[in-house]
Amino acid sequence: MTHEPGDVVADAYVLLSPIHRGGMGEVWRAAPLGGTEVVAVKFIAPVLLDDETATQRLAIEAANMARVESRHVARLIDRGPDHLVMEFLEGESLAATLSRRVTLPSAEVARLVGECADGLAAAHLAGVTHRDVKPSNIILSPRGAVLTDLGISHALGQVPLTATGRVLGTAEYLAPELLTGAPASAASDVYALGICAFEALTGAPPFRGATPLETAAAHVEKPVPPLPGDLPPFLRDLVSAMLAKDRAGRPTALRVGATARELLDTAKTTRARNGPDTLGVDGGAPRPRSQHHSEEDQW
């Protein structure tokens, strides 16, 4: 069945307008009957309603969202056999932001990395691996960066739905170990977040080949290109550590969040001491800003 504005879901939510439509399903803006709170309703595509794997994956997504408590992970409100009801997040995805602004200032990247890392740390503490951290799944909302779409997430004790030897995820954000047969882990989420940070700082992910297979192979075979030399060294060090080829060398999400906050606190202290026009972190000049950037975005 197709959905239209005004349709009522589970005798509880009225559909307002579509947010996204894709091959796997669609997401709608909706509201509870008799209520004013806006919510988001995610449906499985009608052609997948008889697909046991698709329905199981939706059930797993709901279970994993319910396990994670963090202001930086989208909150589950309700669920049905073919849909999830989630909080509606104002704002836009990091992908949409980068399509307009290309790059973001150092302080803004540190802030969103720290917030996403806090969300991942909460997920990892609950035994949940996101497995699909990428700019389109990060919403820059009024309350900060929020991770969405746990559609291919996995939790300890859950039966795997992915066939042996098959890798789920987006090639640009796949950790090297996933291409060599290792299972997704907390460390692979940290790597994917590091790729997002690299992209936000430089305007492109470090690896993008002619095909997804070529892109994926580059994560294993090629060194990560150097970050711009005018970035604060502490931020360069953090992102570089997140992108270590050996997952044992990457910091935990908990450590990434703490480090990002330390960097921002240091930057604020330095700015207060040296004045708003001075970076005070590495002595370099500010990077070029778009018209959307405020002085508070700068280090």
* 132 given a catalytic annotation: yes
Within a 10 A sphere around the Cβ of 249, how many other Cβ atoms? 11
AA identity, residue 131: R
Q: Measured between alpha carbons, how far is 287 from 101 in angstroms, rounded to an integer?
A: 13
Q: Does residue 3 contact residue 28 with C-beta atoms inside 8 Å?
A: yes
What are the start-end ranges of the H helices in 203-279?
212-221, 233-242, 253-274
Within a 10 A sphere around the Cβ of 3, how many other Cβ atoms? 17
Beta-sheet pairing, 39-44 with 76-80: unpaired
Candidates 11, 50, 78, 132; catalytic one: 132
Within a 10 A sphere around the Cβ of 71, how many other Cβ atoms? 14
Beta-sheet pairing, 83-87 with 76-80: antiparallel
AA identity, residue 147: L
Q: Measured between alpha carbons, how far is 75 from 63 in angstroms, rounded to an integer?
A: 11
Burial class (CB in 10 A: 0-12, 13-18, 19+), 43: buried
Paired strand residues for 128: 155
Instruction: Give the catalytic positions in this structure.
Output: 132
